[in-house]
Structure 1
Amino acid sequence: MTFFSRHNIEKSSYEKLYYRYNHEIFTCIANKIENRDDVLDVMQEVYIHLWKFREKILIGNAENIIFNTCKQEISKFYRRTDKEPYSEELTYDRADNSINELKAAKKKDRRLTELERSIELIIPPLRKTIFKMSKIEGISHEQIASQLNMSKSAVENQIAKAMTFLKKHHSNS
């Protein structure tokens, strides 16, 4: 294989890589750097680095190499410009809120389960059907009234009663 044919194969593979990951690279950098011109400058540095080491990329895990290169170039950008990082993820001294986030997610999940249980077990069957059709399935009040052969105001009344009950029953949760 001659130098030129190997070079063309590498160039073709690199171009495929470019088109495959261009949007992800832009997004990755834009999440860390606010100014669009700076984002484009860092992207250019990423592509230069990737071109220099294209043989390793084409052989190894391209995605890992690409996103590690993005992180390195973002760090270089901040060191070079003496700017503060735009994204919180680059700030290493921030408090770890994962426990609080987990507790909040569990509490929300528990409340949702209680709400679903109330809908299923406590609300009368017709009211439950109307409520689910409206709030969960997104069916209009007119369509529900037509399907259940009742007036639109009766449908609205049933939904209001269900909402009132759920608000009262779950306000203390």
Structure 2
Amino acid sequence: MEKEDEYVKALSEGDSKAFEILFLRYQPRLVAFFAGFVHDDEVARDMAQDIFFSLWTNRERLSAVRSFSSYLYRMARNALYNYYDHSLVCEKYDAEQLFRPLVVENTEELLFVRELQALIDLKVEQMPPQRRLIFRMSRVDGLDNEEIAASLNISKRTVENHLTAALSDLRRMLKMALLLFY
């Protein structure tokens, strides 16, 4: 631990060798940590890379750090929060695009839209009951996550998890459908 403090101090002064030593020690741990949450090794490696990039670009701040590993995992926790916040925003946008009214210009497009809507309806029907209910409350009834949580007496995070899973299922199904149609 004493040696690690020396590496952190050297890194805060711009020592690239100290950075390399800390990187080699902690990068595999961070990748494993992230992979356990995001379930995508490439994304996990990118997130770890971003942490170390941030460490290097803000290395002067490290002189005030008491525990490097605690500091590093606090950065990792914040990166995960940002990742999930970003994912929720993307999923909400995808869902809005999925259910926005389409302007259909010809019969072929109209048939395609109807077939696609039928596939979506079928996929929604195949969802577990609670996920289906939450999805419909969100997308059909227009309730926000807090309203759904209060109505069903569950946490807002549970609502978000169900919506994330529902949108993921629909996205996978739509990718397959688009491959078949085109």
TM range (shorter): 0.3 to 0.5
Q: Is the helix fraction higher in 1 or 2?
A: 2
Larger Cα-atom Rg: 1
